[in-house]
Amino acid sequence: MIRHVVCFKLKDPSDSALAEARSVLLSMKGKVPQLRDIEVGIDLVRSERSYDIILSATFDSLGDLELYQRDPYHCGTVKRHMHAARESSVAVDYEIS
């Protein structure tokens, strides 16, 4: 299995912007067929080095992750929103057992 983790720093880290980003990310559940599991968390500490929100998504294979990267809902709705809302992001993809 593959875990895909993305940390986002938002341009506007207000509670309402964070709630909207969380809702948009979680909206992939049931709409992106390759997505096996999804978690979205909002940072509690809000330190200078913290990112604001994290996406953790699980896929059965690297091939499923690649399909997810091209999925119409992911690209057309989720990526579009997050690219507009983010100041920066970092990602890690790794194998889990």
Question: Residue by residue, what is the 3-state secondary structure of 60-97?
Answer: CCHHHHHHHHHCHHHHHHHHHHHHHHEEEEEEEEEECC
Question: 12: which DSSP letter?
Answer: -
The predicted-structure confidence for 11-37, as pLDDT tens digits, reads as follows 999 999 999 999 999 999 999 999 999
The predicted-structure confidence for 30-58, as pLDDT tens digits, reads as follows 999 999 999 999 999 999 999 999 999 99
CA angle 43, 49, 52 (to 5 degrees): 30
pTM reported for the whole predicted model: 0.95
Q: Domain ranges in the chain?
A: 2-95
**CATH number corresponding to 2-95:** 3.30.70.100
DSSP H or E segment with residue 8? strand 2-10
Residue pair 8/55 in contact by the 8 Å Cβ criterion:
yes
pLDDT of residue 97: 85
Is pLDDT of 75 > 90? yes
